[in-house]
Amino acid sequence: MKLTRRLVLAAAAVLAVSTPALAQYPERPITLIVPWAAGGGTDATARTVATLLEQELGKPVNVVNRTGGGGIVGHTEIANAKPDGYTLGVITTELSLYHWLGTSPLDYKNYTPIALYNTDAQSINVRPDGAKDLKELLAKAKEKPGSLKASGANRGGAPHLAMAGLLNASQMPVDTIPWVPTDGITPALQLLTSNAIAVVGTTLPEVQSMVDAGEVKTLAIMRAERDPTFPNVPTVKEAAGVDWYLSSWRGIAGPKDLPADVAKRLSEAMAKVVEKPEFKSFMSARKFGMDYADAQKFATFLADADERFGTAIKAAGLAK
């Protein structure tokens, strides 16, 4: 009996020596997938976040661009990665559109949210001699449907969907203000200043230089609350009593079923990243909206964004 007990104790001692303690995550470099091309806005934010995450995690965070399919290739690779915390990605607005448009079955449920770090709300802009406020603009449009045209992007882009959602929330058909497709904001602003259209939808940083020059007037921003960067611009609800908001967004996520301790470690690291002076100065210089949400709040944000973009896509007649 004593011999058996000694053998058991000896075996336990050997195991204690030979079995290493569980290493703390991360043990090796992390890959951060960006679904968009190098040099673009998402890529720029990702590289800044990666550099600062390295400081917090103590391991390299390597940005890899996986482009194609309007972001579907990269988003798919993030979703299909092994859920061990060593392959993460930047997920973007387009994830709120894919399954509604029928281009991919991907949606927010395929991911483990870690942190939202950027939103850029859409806004409603007119010429200085246009409507005095959003309420007047909507009243004029309702009085003479089709008389006021709008632009800001191609059909199905965020500005188009934002306008369709606004009109739907205002209980008006989306063709009350017909959408003129353009290849981005620059030609849309040219149409506005030449009096070819009456309204441009875009993010505030995109139009701010023309607002400062007195060539364009912003009537409202599509946020739940005012943007601290543009405190004098009212929300849609303040300006017209319509409860509608829609933002483009970027955040960090891993594949579904990321271990809870890994997700917690990453979320805590991102909470420190967004407070770093380097991050704030970069975002401010590039005019990117700084909106942070931790993992739990990001999950709620993603569900809400999915629903709102779905509402707008269906109102625009683009749902598949």
CATH classification of the domain holding 40:
3.40.190.150
- Say yes or no: 53 and 115 in one domain: yes
CA angle 243, 246, 249 (to 5 degrees): 150
Higher model confidence: residue 60 or residue 19?
60
Segment 205-260, tens digit of pLDDT: 889 999 999 999 999 999 999 998 899 999 999 999 999 999 999 999 999 999 99
pLDDT at 193 over 90: yes
- Say yes or no: 201 and 169 in one domain: yes
Share of the chain above pLDDT 70, in %: 93
Report the half-sphere exposure of 54 (CA within 13 A, side-chain side): 12
- Say yes or no: 128 and 200 in one domain: yes
- Say yes or no: 128 and 209 in one domain: yes
Per-residue pLDDT, averaged over 100-121, amounts to: 97
Residue 194: predicted pLDDT: 96
Which segment of 17-26, 89-98, 153-162, 176-185 scores lowest on mean pLDDT? 17-26
Segment 273-304, tens digit of pLDDT: 999 999 999 999 998 999 999 999 999 999 99
pTM over 0.75: yes
- Say yes or no: 159 and 184 in one domain: yes
Residue 89: predicted pLDDT: 98
Per-residue pLDDT, averaged over 253-272, amounts to: 98
Whether 11 is covered by a domain: the verdict is no
Number of Cβ within a 10 Å radius of residue 130: 18
Q: Which domain holds residue 69?
A: 29-119+248-315
Whether 320 is covered by a domain: the verdict is no
Whether 6 is covered by a domain: the verdict is no
DSSP string, the chain: -HHHHHHHHHHHHHHHHHSPPPPPSPSS-EEEEESS-TTSHHHHHHHHHHHHHHHHHSS-EEEEE---GGGHHHHHHHHHS-SSSSEEEEEEGGGGTHHHHTS-S--GGGEEEEEEEEEEEEEEEE-TTS-SSHHHHHHHHHHSTTSS-EESSSTTSHHHHHHHHHHHHTT--GGGS-B---SSHHHHHHHHHTTS-SEEEEEHHHHHHHHHTTS-EEEEE-SSS--TTSTTSPBHHHHHS-----EEEEEEEEETT--HHHHHHHHHHHHHHTTSHHHHHHHHHTT--EEEE-HHHHHHHHHHHHHHHHHHHHHTT---
Per-residue pLDDT, averaged over 164-185, amounts to: 96
pLDDT at 182 over 70: yes
Whether 183 is covered by a domain: the verdict is yes
Which conformational region is residue 130 in: left (phi greater than 0), alpha (psi within -120 to 50 degrees), or beta? Answer: beta
Would you place residue 169 in the very low, low, confident or very high pLDDT band (cuts 50, 70, 90)?
very high
Share of the chain above pLDDT 90, in %: 89
- Say yes or no: 228 and 254 in one domain: no
Task: Decide which of 213, 240, 267 is a domain's last residue.
Answer: 240
Q: Minimal CA–CA distance to 166: which of 179, 154, 153?
A: 179
- Say yes or no: 174 and 230 in one domain: yes
Domains of the chain: total:
2
Residue 5: predicted pLDDT: 52
Mean pLDDT score across all residues of the chain: 93
Kindly state the tokens that stand for 218: 């912003």
Residue 229: predicted pLDDT: 87
Whether 18 is covered by a domain: the verdict is no
**Residues in Cβ contact with 127 at an 8 Å cutoff, skipping those fewer than 6 apart:** 192, 193, 195, 198, 215, 216, 217
- Say yes or no: 45 and 154 in one domain: no
Per-residue pLDDT, averaged over 90-106, amounts to: 97
Whether 2 is covered by a domain: the verdict is no
The whole-angstrom separation of Cα 45 and Cα 194 is 34
Per-residue pLDDT, averaged over 162-170, amounts to: 97
Kindly state the tokens that stand for 164: 């369709």
Q: Minimal CA–CA distance to 176: which of 193, 191, 163?
A: 163
Burial of 241 (0-12, 13-18, 19+ CB in 10 A): exposed
Residue 184: predicted pLDDT: 86
Segment 2-52, tens digit of pLDDT: 444 554 444 444 444 433 434 799 999 999 999 999 999 999 999 999 999
Residue 22: predicted pLDDT: 47
- Say yes or no: 46 and 140 in one domain: no
- Say yes or no: 127 and 234 in one domain: yes
- Say yes or no: 210 and 154 in one domain: yes
CATH classification of the domain holding 150:
3.40.190.10
- Say yes or no: 82 and 130 in one domain: no
Task: Decide which of 223, 240, 257 is a domain's last residue.
Answer: 240
